[in-house]
Amino acid sequence: MKKLSILLLSVLSFSFNAKAEKIKLIIDAAHGGKDAGAKAANGETESQLCLAFAEALQEHAAKNNIEVVMVRTADEYVSLEQRNTYKPEPGVKSYFVSFHMNSENTHSARGAQIIYYSKSPQAGASRRVAEKLVNGFNMINDIGTTLSDKGSALVIKNSEIPAVIIEPGYISNEQDLRKLKDKGIQQEVAMLVVKAVTE
Ligand SMILES: [Zn+2]
C-alpha cells in the first residue's frame, strides 16, 4: 500500500511538473522580403541564414515537446512592430528568440554574440537565458562569445516575455560564414537554445 501511494505520488507530481513546465518558443528569423539584412561578399544574405537557424530550432524544439511559433517561415517581410506582441500566459514559460547575423566592415571580427536588454520588463529571466547561451556557445566555439545587455532593438526592448537576440557569427567574415552555412552548426545552436530554455 505504501509502495502504491509513493508510486501514485510520483505519477501525480510528474504530471504536475509536466503541466507547469509547458514551454513555448517564439522564433524570429530576422529580416526577410524587401529587407535582406547584411550581405556577405558572395551575395549570401542575413535573412536567408536567419531563416535557416530558425528552421533548425523549430525542428529541434518540436522534437522536445516545445510549442513553437514562427514569426516568419518564408522570405517575407514582417514589420518590427508585428514581430513580438506576445503576452505571458499562465502555466506557460514563453521565450522570444531572434536570430540575426553580425556584420562589420573590416571583415576580421568573428564570434557569436548574445544580446538581451537590461531594462526590459523581463530582464532577469532574459539574462538567465542569455548567460546559459553564452556558456553553451563557448563550448562549441573556440573564438569567444560575448554577452551584451544593451539590446535596444524593438523586438526585445519592450518584450513582455523573456527575449534574446542570438548572433551566431559574422556574415562579413569568411570563416564565420562557412560555419553559419553549416547545417551541423545550425543544429548545434538549436540544441543549445532548447537546453537553455528547458533546464
Ligand atoms: Zn540583422
Amino acid letter, 169: G
C-alpha neighbours within 13 Å on the C-beta side of residue 123 = 11
d(CA 165, ligand 1 centre) in Å: 10
Band of the pLDDT at 140, cuts 50, 70, 90? confident
Amino acid letter, 50: C
Say yes or no to pLDDT of 10 above 90. no
Band of the pLDDT at 5, cuts 50, 70, 90? low
d(CA 179, ligand 1 centre) in Å: 17
d(CA 15, ligand 1 centre) in Å: 40
CATH superfamily name and code, 20-198: Zn-dependent exopeptidases (3.40.630.40)
DSSP per position, 55-109: HHHHHHHHHTT-EEEES-SSS----HHHH------TTEEEEEEEE--B--TTS--
d(CA 150, ligand 1 centre) in Å: 15
d(CA 37, ligand 1 centre) in Å: 5
Band of the pLDDT at 4, cuts 50, 70, 90? low
Residue 18, pLDDT score: 47
d(CA 10, ligand 1 centre) in Å: 46
- The pLDDT of 39-51, averaged and rounded, is 95
Band of the pLDDT at 152, cuts 50, 70, 90? confident
- The pLDDT of 22-47, averaged and rounded, is 96
Give CA–CA dist 34/14, Å, rounded.
Answer: 47
Q: What is the mean pLDDT of the chain?
A: 91
- The pLDDT of 52-60, averaged and rounded, is 98
Calculate what percentage of the chain has a pLDDT beyond 90: 82
d(CA 103, ligand 1 centre) in Å: 8
Give CA–CA dist 153/184, Å, rounded.
Answer: 28
d(CA 75, ligand 1 centre) in Å: 14
d(CA 118, ligand 1 centre) in Å: 20
Extract the C-alpha cell encoding 91.
502555466
Taking the complete model, does pTM exceed 0.75, yes or no? yes
Band of the pLDDT at 55, cuts 50, 70, 90? very high
Cα dihedral angle (60, 164, 123, 157), rounded to 10 degrees? -140
Residue 17, pLDDT score: 45
Say yes or no to pLDDT of 12 above 70. no
Extract the C-alpha cell encoding 146.
560575448
Between CA 117 and CA 153, with CA 74 as vertex, the angle to 5 degrees is 15
Band of the pLDDT at 131, cuts 50, 70, 90? very high
Band of the pLDDT at 13, cuts 50, 70, 90? very low
Q: For 68-121, what is each residue's pLDDT tens digit?
A: 999 999 999 999 999 999 999 999 999 999 999 999 999 999 999 999 999 999
d(CA 59, ligand 1 centre) in Å: 22
Q: Which residues have a Cβ under 8 Å from the Cβ of 139 and sit 6 or more positions away? A: none
Residue 8, pLDDT score: 52
Domain ranges of the chain: 20-198
